[in-house]
Amino acid sequence: MAKQVMLTAEGLRQLEEELDYLKGERRKEIAEKIKIARSYGDLSENSEYDDAKNEQAIVEARIVTIEATLKNAVLHDEGNTSIEHVHIGSVVRVENLRSNKEVVYKIVGSMEANPMEGRISDESPIGTALAGRSVGDVVEVEVPAGTLGLKILEISR
């Protein structure tokens, strides 16, 4: 049995939009690149053709990945969740006890994670450590830079 993938409504929408784009517009763009590259003649020494075929393979692999994700997706209903504990869909404001800086994380499913935007996976070390915790709790997390102490200051949606 395939692993279930937790998604927020926003994450589900984004994946569906990406899939539509890849299956429609993107496939047409690549087909046109392949058609043009074929017109250059000898395919054995045609780097444009090779590049287009590689691009096609990457897009097709991404389509398969998204389709499998959507097939195994479990939608997390953020509207019925409390703000008493951290879970998928929570926005958590924490204090880094080493630097005394505040950081805000949104806990999302692994397919939606984007650490540069503060969107961390529920399966990441920080996401796992925060899961189920409440305001005022202090957690220690093993990260590549060592042990990180985080104090939960606020939980919202």
| Per-residue confidence in pLDDT tens, the chain, 157 aa | 567 888 888 888 999 999 999 999 999 999 999 999 888 877 777 888 889 999 999 999 999 999 998 998 888 766 666 778 898 888 999 999 989 999 999 998 888 889 899 999 988 999 999 999 999 999 999 888 888 899 999 998 8
Q: Which residues contact 27 (CB under 8 A, 6 or more apart)?
A: 59
Q: Which residues contact 69 (CB under 8 A, 6 or more apart)?
A: 5, 7, 15, 111
- The distance from CA 23 to its chain's CA centroid, rounded to whole angstroms, is 20
Give the global pTM: 0.70
**Among candidates 23, 3, 21, which has minimal Cα distance to 13?**
21
31 vs 85: CA distance, rounded Å: 49
**Among candidates 107, 96, 91, which has minimal Cα distance to 146?**
96
Q: Quick one: CA dihedral 123, 126, 127, 128, positive or negative? A: positive
